[in-house]
Structure 1
């Protein structure tokens, strides 16, 4: 029965497109859902960003983002698998929270934690930044697709846009030109050979690669210019500034221009932290047993930078998030909801 209810809620959420900047309709749906359960909703906004806050005085918060990337796939259901943009990232997490709130009302139990539904995670993280300007909870669980692992570690990151200059020549005369594509991949190879990207990590390995590359060549030419975006994933213990000291000389050598657009250090919480201890008890109660590390940027970075001890957890799979084949098993949504129920109960007794 819970599985069918989770499926129903999730499909309703997926039928409301909510790409970053257009979260108003899904925010209204969530507000209506919460009001029908008789929960007070506090609206936080700066005129552009909107956050919905429940139980604002709590010291432990569940945080989940309402926005998705631009829609790439229409929602549909096949058995217990629900497909569609946002199914995994992270409307399955929203459904888990709403399912938990329904269950608390049915069992006449208190909501001991706070909940915030934020905007703009997929673009600039301004929703979580706004929340942290106005609230400073002691602990948080940020919902993201972790395959029901409790992520106590988080990657660091470096993102840079760059331009590599070559020299145009007729396409049949490569010896007379400098191929900007080949220069770009020579640069990438040197970056990959740096020591920070050769080590192994506890939960994931570091990585550096090119995620966007445009080399305009409307004529039969040796390409003279490439523009792209470079992304580096760092281990929690690797210092961003130390890695930048190694990357900078290579980018200076190969690019005519580069700009760092995202830079942040990762982190790893001790298993002795209160939020990790609470999560451990909830894991035991729900049959979960895996700790892990988050490989992507999440709102947890904004929380941790402002002093809130934060873990990341949720249903869904990060690997297939943002793809045309994004999907989630609603049984995992139910399991996530049960985990959140236990955390709420354990925290209420502490």
Structure 2
């Protein structure tokens, strides 16, 4: 079967397996079977599937989950369409095609031969295919916490190396390693330990969402995170401040609007002020009803995208100042401050994400650029404006690059698409990167 036809069939199978965040088991099973048929050993973890290469400090990472839509797969002769075809199943297809090529380049591997040889002898880079990027990002967070050089996941001796986030206060957190016995008995002491672990996990989630985790250097770990960039290399990753605003006014009969406080109109005033503070993207807004009454509640979700030079924490403080000049502010359930002459307008502010951006410069990017050059392609650059798993890896001190096939702006829409040519280019670049990994300093 020709390479193009094989790529198309593989992409079709990947897209036709529905894999919204939280429902990735089937697609991970399909991917695992494909990799094992190529003669490479996989390790199944709760956060995804990993394939260890000779260099366990250099990884190619992408995600297998999608947003929860159901756009059918189709192909027009050049572009393939469907949910997740670009974000990021096109990248998954490129990785699997690269592994197939490495398998075909080596001596034929039957089942007997696979038992007699080193499964990763032709694989220099390591690979991680992760869950939950489109959801809460727990796949890459867990992967980053558990990855420390060659000690990634199970160490093979019946013990697991885990990383526990210990919070010493609002502004001080540190990550410290702790070995946990792989055999847990259900006695009282272990149950209490399990409850403490749940409490720590809740603390970790809070710290992750608010971006207060201290950047813990994680050795020389490097990764190329595959996301749609039209095969351009991201030289910067934008940060994000994502907030949910809920404005409460006072209802009144529709014929006497002067007796109430219209929450929708108050929300419009707040949004106008915030856009003067910093450009933002309004994701959704809800309020009002078909009742003939003044709306007493309005909800809006918006995102501020931040350059690497901008601070999410500073913008949050400025945002609260702006809102508190118009009404009473309650942030994350606690009263902060604010005045309202009538005492009738309250705005609840929930911080959904608070992450600083960063410049992308390091060995991972240099290796990727070299691999692109070696295939005869020209290196072009862009910024990555969307949240990706690279942010979680960066928080844990990884040196990351962001790059991959497909047009980001079309993702999550009915027009999401990817060309087979881009997947083929990405496959060749991954093969070149694999060859280069033996030269990358560990």
TM-score, normalised by the number of residues in structure 1: 0.91
Are positions 1:87 and 2:88 aligned together? Answer: no
Pick from 141, 151, 157: which aligns with 2:234? 151
1:327 offset after TM fit, Å?
1.2
8 Å contact kept, 1:188–1:209:
no
8 Å contact kept, 1:316–1:332:
yes
Are positions 1:2 and 2:3 aligned together? Answer: yes
Pick from 277, 285, 307: which aligns with 2:397? 307
1:166 offset after TM fit, Å?
2.3
**Aligned-residue CA RMSD in angstroms?**
1.6
Aligned to 1:62: 60
Pick from 98, 122, 128: which aligns with 2:134? 122
Distance in 1 between residues matched to 2:49 and 2:323, nearest whole Å: 42
8 Å contact kept, 1:140–1:309:
yes
Are positions 1:335 and 2:425 aligned together? Answer: yes
1:185 offset after TM fit, Å?
1.6
8 Å contact kept, 2:224–2:368:
no
Aligned to 1:326: 416
Per-residue CA deviation, residues 117-174 of structure 1 (Å, 9 max, x unaligned), is: 1101111111111111211351101111111111131111011112112232333444
8 Å contact kept, 1:136–1:306:
no
8 Å contact kept, 2:132–2:138:
yes
8 Å contact kept, 1:148–1:288:
no
DSSP 3-state at the match of 1:175: helix
Distance in 1 between residues matched to 2:295 and 2:62, nearest whole Å: 44
Unaligned runs of 5+ in 1: 198-206
1:216 offset after TM fit, Å?
3.2
Tell which deviates more after alignment, 244-253 or 72-81: 244-253
Aligned to 2:299: 227
1:220 offset after TM fit, Å?
1.7
What is the number of residues matched between the two proteins?
333
Aligned to 1:131: 143
Aligned to 1:52: 49
Distance in 2 between residues matched to 1:6 and 1:152, nearest whole Å: 29
Aligned to 2:16: 15
Tell which deviates more after alignment, 14-23 or 165-174: 165-174
Aligned to 2:358: 267
Tell which deviates more after alignment, 220-229 or 293-302: 220-229
1:338 offset after TM fit, Å?
1.2
Distance in 2 between residues matched to 1:291 and 1:209, nearest whole Å: 23
1:241 offset after TM fit, Å?
1.4
Mapping of residues 251-290 of structure 1, within 5 Å: 251-252=323-324, 253-254=326-327, 255-270=346-361, 273-286=362-375, 287-290=377-380
1:210 offset after TM fit, Å?
2.1
Structure number with the bigger relative contact order (C-alpha 8 A, sep ≥ 6) is 1
1:74 offset after TM fit, Å?
1.0
Per-residue CA deviation, residues 276-314 of structure 1 (Å, 9 max, x unaligned), is: 221221222231321111101100011111111111111
TM-score, normalised by the number of residues in structure 2: 0.72
